[in-house]
Amino acid sequence: MLETILAISGKPGLYKLVSRGNNNLIVETVDAQKKRFPAFAADKVISLADIAMYTDEKEVPLREVLNNIKTKEGGKVASIDYRKASKEELFAYLGEVLPNFDRDRVYPADAKKLVQWYNLLVENGLDNFDETLQETEGDNIDDRKA
């Protein structure tokens, strides 16, 4: 599932890949509005499946971190208010779900974005973080090659 959820640099929120055009991707917002628009090659687009968080030993896929938050929160939205939380509060929360995260390379903005993305996914029923692209049902993307 995370393969089709995208982050677009310079645009808030998350987007679901709907289709591919000749020179663009058709994406839909992951919220109640479900607004569709094209994302072009000039936009920096990255799949959540390709994102990892730094730890002291290695990089941990975002999928694992999201699952850790889901386990901690019991599948509900995060208990921390990322908008009002201080750096110390964000890092304490992140330390609960990823104890050995690299405090030098993970910034407070990264922790805020992580909680924001988690909440957005859970609120919109996209909380099966282990699901792979082949298991996604109802997905009409014919050409999955980049």
Q: Report the share of the chain in percent with pLDDT over 70.
A: 89
CATH code for residues 51-123 = 1.10.10.1650
What average pLDDT does this structure show over 40-55? 93
Q: How does pLDDT run across 6-31, given as a tens digit for each residue?
A: 999 989 999 999 999 888 999 999 99
Task: Match 């699952």 to its residue by tokens.
Answer: 67
Q: How does pLDDT run across 89-109, given as a tens digit for each residue?
A: 999 999 999 999 999 999 999
Q: Flag whether pLDDT at 138 surpasses 50.
A: no
DSSP 78: P
The structural domains of the chain, with segments of one domain joined by +, span 2-48, 51-123
Q: Which residues of 102-140 are buried (b: 16+ CB within 10 A; e: fewer)?
A: eeeebebeebbebbbbbbbbbeeebbebebeeeeeeebe
Question: 2-48: which CATH topology?
Answer: SH3 type barrels. (2.30.30)
